[in-house]
Amino acid sequence: MGRGRPVKSQIRQNIVELLYFMKEGYGYDIYRQYKELFPPVSMRVIYYHLRKGSALGEFKVNKVIKENGDFSWGSEAEKVYYSLGDDAQPIGNMSVREFIEKKNNLKQADS
């Protein structure tokens, strides 16, 4: 076995599963969904795995949007939207699918 950390990660695989059903999402949105499904997790870990997964080709950056507002850190926020990359291998986790469908149904009912 080689030295260092293994390339595979259960956290990154869980993010792949989330994005498989979400189709696209920005970092904080992915973190909120992940936290509900697979607690406990920190935001820092999610952002680390999004960057690492992008470098490995599991995720790709679709777009970067700058939003103006009154945030605690300033007047501008940058949202990086991710989707699945070519090297992602989603399994089709049914519990993730049910979670996302339930969230989408709740959003539609509120509209």
CATH-assigned architecture of domain 10-85: Orthogonal Bundle (1.10)
CA-based nearest residue to 84, from 20, 14, 12: 20
SS3 3: coil
Query: Residue 45 carries which side chain, given as an amino acid letter?
Result: V
Element (H, E) at 98: helix 94-110
Residue 22 token pair: 């979400």
The domain spans of the chain are: 10-85
pLDDT at 1 over 80: no
pTM score, whole prediction: 0.88
pLDDT at 2 over 80: no
- 24-51 confidence digits (pLDDT tens): 999 999 999 999 999 999 999 999 999 9
